[in-house]
């Protein structure tokens, strides 16, 4: 395997690990939000309160929706 192939494989490995770690952190945070709130309105309020800007809020809300989908599939 060439050096360039090794470099790309390393970058891909790091990127995959980072994505998996981030997803795990998001899942943990979403579970904590659900435990500490009573209804969906409060959850959305909590997510919006902790966002720095609109794009971050949309990302967090989409991440939360994906989390709920996965949780309901179990």
The pLDDT of residue 17: 65
Sole residue written with tokens 């991440």:
63
Mean pLDDT of all residues belonging to the chain: 72
Pick 37 or 14 by higher pLDDT. Answer: 14
Measured CA to CA in angstroms, residue 6 lies from 14, 15, 16, 17, 19 at distances of 12, 14, 15, 16, 20
pLDDT tens digits along 40-73: 777 777 777 777 777 777 887 888 788 777 777 6
Its pTM stands at 0.44
Neighbouring C-beta atoms of residue 53, cutoff 10 Å? 8
Contact call for residues 57 and 20 (beta carbons, < 8 A): no
Answer yes or no: is pLDDT of 7 > 70: yes
- CA distance to 1, 12, 14, 64, per residue, from 48 (Å): 47, 32, 30, 12
Whole-number pLDDT of residue 38? 63
């Amino acid at each position: 395997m060439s050096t360039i192939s090794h470099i790309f494989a390393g970058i891909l490995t790091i990127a995959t690990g980072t994505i998996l770690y981030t997803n795990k952190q998001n899942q943990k945070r979403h579970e904590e939000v659900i435990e500490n709130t009573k209804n969906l309105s409060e959850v959305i309020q909590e997510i919006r309160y902790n966002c720095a800007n609109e794009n971050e809020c949309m990302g967090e809300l989409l991440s939360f929706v994906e989390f709920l989908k996965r949780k309901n599939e179990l």
